[in-house]
Each structure stands twice: as C-alpha cells, then as structure tokens.
Structure 1
C-alpha cells in the first residue's frame, strides 16, 4: 500500500467520523465539508485511482488532476470558513471570500479546458495558442490556495492562546501547522513556475517531491488537529465523571441532613458535567445551611482537636471543615435548633477557582468519610452538647 493510499484512508476515516456533526452548526458543517473534500482530493493522489479515472475518460483528458485541484480549492475555502467561525465568530470578509471562490473555480475550469497540455514540467506548458492557459490555470489555483492558507495559518496560530484546554491548544496548533505547510506548498509551486518561465530550467523530480511531501504533511496535520479537540472534550468528560464519583458520598451525607437544597428537576445520567456542576452547587448550599447549627467556637474547637489528635495531618484545613460539618450534620439529624446571633464557621471553598474548588471538596469528602479524627470530634461535640443541655436543665430545676 502506497503512502498516498494510507493518507487518503486516514482522511476518510476522520471525515466519516466527523460527518454526522454536519447538521449541528455552521462551524461543524464547514469542518465536516473540509474533511470530505480534502479526503476526496487526496484520493486522486492514489496511483490506482488515477489509473482507473484515466481508463474511463482517457489519459489525454487529464481529469484526475483537475478534480484533485478543484477539490483542493473547495477544501481550502471550507477550512478558512471553519477557522473564521472558531476564531472570529463576528465574521471576516465574507463577501470577498464568496466572490474569490465564485471566480476561482470557473476560471480554473475555463483555463484548464483551453490549455494545450503537454507532459513534463511543473505547469506542463502547452504549445501554440494554448501556451498561456496552463500558466493562467496554475496561477489562479496557486494564488487562491496560498492566500487561503496564509490567512488560515494566521487565524489558527493566533487562536491558540485563547483555547481553554491543552488539547484544544494542540489541536489549533496542528491545524495551523497544516495550513502553514499548505502555504509553503503554494510558494514552492510559484517558485518552480517562475524559474521555469524565466530561465527555461526545470526540476521536475524536486518539484514533485516537495509538492507531494507538503500536500501529505498538510493533510496529516489537519487530520490530527481535527481529532485533538474532541479528545479534550472526552478528557473533560472523564474528569467530570471521576470528580462526581468522588463527591457523591459527601453530597449524600450533607443533603440527607439538609434535603431542602436538592433541586427537584431530574438530569439524565449521561450529562455528567452538568450533574457534577449541580452536585457542587448542592454541596455548597448544604454547607451554608448546616453551618447555622454550629458556631465559630465549634470551628475553633475542631482546629484544636485536629492538632491534638492528628499532629502533622495532611490538608488540616479540610479535616477541620469536615469535623465541624460532621458535627453540624449530627446536630441537624438529632433535631437541634439553628443558632441565631452567633458567628458561623468560615467556608473553605469560598474564593477558589474551579480546579481548586473541586480539589478542596474532594479532600473534605475524604476526611469526612474516612478519617477517625472526624467521627471522634463529632462524638465529642455531641457528648458536650448533651452534657451542656443536662446542666442547663438542672440549673432550671
């Protein structure tokens, strides 16, 4: 199997994978059509396909190169449309782009039909009255590809810093690399044609090697760049599932004592990121509700207890929060009254960014459920409250 066949196969796999997204949005439609047209263009690079086309229409018609280059221009247009939708959603020279595409394709067909092609040379110069038309054809094709790839490279690489995730940045980077290679492809075509026209010197083997290498590099870079952002989404989904699994036990404990914070609307199990967001909100609302059952004195007592019972414990602040939360849950379950006119314990989750917030809640949950010091503090507080209540009743009698 040739390299061109492997690359065409890879592109078709990626294109068919992304094809169902064609109905989702303008951006996704442009990306799907980019991949389909690019895969079709690279298919005409496969020797067996070119031979099959020549066998049907005749080698002298040279239909395979024409179809390949028309599809290449179409792919470049869709790719430029895609990157503008991603990086410049407000739009960029839409009318100019439509006019350029609407002029380029008909001119290519006209010049191709008028050209008197002869074999050899990067532009395959004609003879007689057909001499200028191969040059005009390659000029129109190369200029469109070159300008589209330069603009796309500028937009892709400029958008890297705005991406939220590492894989998203890498995806835009590979797409930018692909369009950069596409720009170099156009420039080298211009260079070889200029040399041939000005001096009559030809380098067909070198021109073909560079052209093929740059086209294949462009196709592979675009394919890799397209695949990385969905992997970023998958990674975020897995991370959300992991965090949700870690936080659910703490959520169950806290919402059992403060059931009024749980939202009534049900959520599908497949919507893991949304379920995680809801879980975090309900945990924080439960903490706000439960801290009304304890005072800042309980928080201070928890600090002293943790230091005395578990010296050198990791994440001591999270353990302290787990202690007073467990004491508050115990008080709420036992029918204790909410405290009024007192200072409540501070919430450790306040003022954190998203990653730190999740990390903090996981540490609090781990301490709440697993550390003996937390359950021991809750028992101590419960005994103290019972004793204080008994002393109060004794003094009244």
Structure 2
C-alpha cells in the first residue's frame, strides 16, 4: 500500500468513525466538517481522482473551504463564533483564486510546470492560496499549543500538542512553497520536481500527526464507551430477568444499542439506569427470597432464581424476609458485584426460570 493510499484510508476511517459526533454539539459538528473537508481535499489530490476531475485547482478550492471550516471550529473553541469575517475572508480568497485562474489561462499545479516561466497571475495565485492556508494553520498551531498547557497531563495534552505540531508542519510547507514560487517568479531557477517529494512528505506527515492528535480524545472516549457497553452486556441476563418479572421497573425504553455504542447517547447514564432497574427489581423480589445466606455471587444468583420461581408459582410473599447482599458505596462497586451475579445467573442456567410476565416492547440490550 502506497503512503498516499494509507493516508487516505486513515482520513476516511477517521471521518466515518466520528460521524456519530454530529448529534452531540456544534463544536463536534464543526470538527467533523473540518475533518471531512480535509479528507475530500486530500482525495482530490490523489492522481487517479485528479485526472478524473480534470480541474487542477479543485483541491485548492477544497483546501480553502477546509481552512474556513477550521476557522469556524477555532471560533467555537474560543467563544467568538458570532463573527462574520471568516465568511468574508474565505469568499474573497475563493473569488481571487477563480479570477487568477482565468487570468493565468488555467493554473497547472504540476511540479514540472512550476519549474517553467511563471506569470504574475500564477505567482499571485499561489501567494493568495498558501498565504491564506498558512495563516489559518499558524493560528491553529498557536491555539492548540496554548490550550495544551492547561489540559490534563497524559493523552489529552499529548493529543493537543500533536495537533499543534502537525498544523505547524503543514504551515511550514505552505510558507516554503510560497517563498520558492515567489523566488522562481523573480527569476531564481528552482527545480520543483526535485523539491516536491520532500514537501509532499512534510505535508503528509503533518496531516497524519494532526489527524492522529484529533483522534486521541476520541480514542479515550471509545475505550470508555466500549468498557461501559461491555458492562451493559454482562448485566443483561440479570436485567432481563428483572424486566420480565417487573416491567414497571424500566425507566424508559432504550434507544438503539449501536447508536449508544458509538457514543451519541451517554452510555454511562444508561449503565447507571440499568443498575437502578436491577436493584428496583430485586427490591420487589425480596418478599419471595428463601431464608438462606447468599453472600457469594453464586448464592445470590441462586436466591434470585428461587425467588422468581416462587413468585411465578404464586407463593404468597413473606412478611419477614432476608435482603440481598449490601454492596457499595460507589456505583463501580454495584456494577462489579451485579456483573458477577449476572454471570453466575447465566452460567447457572437460571435464565429459563423467569416469571412468564409479558415482555415489554424495546430492545433487551
């Protein structure tokens, strides 16, 4: 796999992976839009795509759009989202690029063409484009590096600084290309086919670092979401038994599990809700408990199964009864204990003994 294909695969993977964040807030929406536009820009530079499009300045226009979206994202981060100057500035840049392209008779972006004679319109085109992109990237670098100082140590700070370094590398690439084009337009011989691979490598490495840094917080959240979702699945047998026996303990119908797994809904709140629903069911089941000790997960699971059997058989609830094991005080203690009980309940083959109460609508996950 070539470096260009690997980079595109990473960019499109990151773009698709962050799709669920569109439902969260404006900052996440702006970040995803920036990532998507940047991915489209890199895709438009891929030789097969560029040849099929047949419009050399398309990646530049998409790059200007990406810079505008990045400006909007920075404005949301700094609390200045109401300003309209990014729209005016980006519009002026796009108009200037299209006009200079027409005046120059079509901009040829190939390194071989850049090594030839450059008209004033061509030089102006590159100065406008790279100057605009470079200014936005410098602002990005300064903002993320300054924010990183106040971020928690570890991955959050590392992610922000990685974004800043990546943006700085792309800004250096833009500045160096602008200087070389201006010098060549002034008569200094520059062999662009020779220097282009190094510049492309610098730009690609900067893009890779920026995307990797942006994925660091998402990676931490993904691990947290996946861990919590695993707890939800472990608790499912016990929760299902309580839900089937006491449908009224369900607080509200859960949404699709795949959406929650992606992080759109607060999966941690869902886990908290599941623990409450299990505990409410166990509280309603206490009058049917057998009068035996059940301080281990296996004993607790067996007691729950026996209580469910008694209730299903129509045994009268007892006025004096034992309670379940007291666990706490932290929610993590509840999750750990109930997870062990749920595993024991499933392994003990008790799931078939649930009371024949009609199942409520909604996913059991």
TM-score, normalised to structure 1, is 0.57
CA distance in 2, matches of 1:125, 1:367: 79
Equivalent residue, structure 2, for 1:245: 233
The answer to whether the 8 Å contact 1:31/1:82 transfers is yes
Select the residue among 169, 186, 199 that pairs with 1:211. Answer: 199
Partner Cα separation in structure 1 for residue 22 and residue 320 of structure 2: 54
Which structure carries more helix by proportion? 1
Contact 2:243/2:250, CA 8 A, preserved across alignment:
no
2:288/2:317 contact within 8 Å kept: no
Which has the bigger relative contact order, CA under 8 A and spacing at least 6? 2
**CA distance 1:252–1:334, shift in 2 (3 Å):** farther
Instruction: Select the residue among 97, 104, 108 that pairs with 1:108.
Output: 97
2:336 equivalent in structure 1: 359
Find the aligned partners of 1:280 and 1:232 in 2 and give their Cα distance.
24
> Would you say 1:142 and 2:137 are equivalent positions?
no
Deviation at 1:278, TM superposition (A): 2.8
Q: Secondary structure at the match of 1:348?
A: coil
Counterpart-to-counterpart distance in 2, 1:169 and 1:109:
40
- Partner Cα distance (1:238, 1:15) in 2: 17
- Post-superposition Cα deviations, 1:35-70, rounded to whole Å, max 9, x if no partner, equal 5543443345344565667xx7xxxxxx51x33322
Mapped contact 2:117–2:185 kept (Cα < 8 A) = no
Distance 1:256 1:16 in 2: 40
- Residue 67 of structure 2, aligned match among 57, 73, 76: 76
2: distance between equivalents of 1:51 and 1:246? Answer: 52
Q: Helix, strand or coil for the counterpart of 1:94? A: coil
Structure 2: tracts of 5 or more residues without a match: 261-266, 349-365
Shift of 1:155: 4.8
Structure 1 gaps, min length 5? 57-62, 307-317, 372-397
TM-score normalized by the length of structure 2: 0.61
Residues 346-394 of structure 1 show CA distances to partners (whole Å, capped at 9, x for unaligned) of: 9422234xx55422432454577879xxxxxxxxxxxxxxxxxxxxxxx
Pair 1:357–1:147, CA change in 2 (3 A): farther
The alpha-carbon deviation at position 149 of structure 1 amounts to 1.7
Instruction: Give 1:372-391 correspondences, 5 Å limit.
Output: none
Contact 2:100 2:122 in 1 (8 A): yes
Q: Residue 94 in 1 paired to residue 88 in 2?
A: no
What is the CA–CA distance in structure 1 between the aligned matches of 2:180 and 2:134, rounded to whole Å?
A: 15
Aligned partners of 2:13 and 2:124: how far apart in 1? 34
Distance change >3 Å, CA 283–CA 111, structure 1 → 2: same
**1:108-257 superposed matches below 5 A:** 108-114=97-103, 126=118, 130=120, 133-155=121-143, 158=147, 175-176=163-164, 178-192=166-180, 200=188, 202=190, 204-205=192-193, 207-221=195-209, 238-251=226-239
Whether the 8 Å CA contact 1:175–1:226 is kept in 2: the answer is: yes
Distance 1:199 1:369, change over 3 A: same
Distance 1:256 1:49 in 2: 55
2: distance between equivalents of 1:126 and 1:111?
13
Residues 283/160 of structure 1: CA separation in 2 closer, same or farther (3 Å cut): farther
Instruction: Measure, in 2, the Cα distance between the counterparts of 1:74 and 1:173.
Output: 24
1:288–1:27 CA distance, 2 compared to 1 (3 A): same
Q: Distance in 2 between matches of 1:370 and 1:3?
A: 49
Tell me which residue corresponds to 2:42: 42
Deviations 1:289-330 (A, max 9, x none): 678999xxx9xx97xx97xxxxxxxxxxx769959x869969
Deviation at 1:262, TM superposition (A): 1.0
CA distance in 2, matches of 1:319, 1:40: 53
| Alignment pair present for 1:263 and 2:226 | no
- The question of 1:10 aligning with 2:1 is answered no
Are the structure 2 counterparts of residues 368 and 218 from structure 1 closer, same or farther at C-alpha, using a change threshold of 3 Å?
A: same
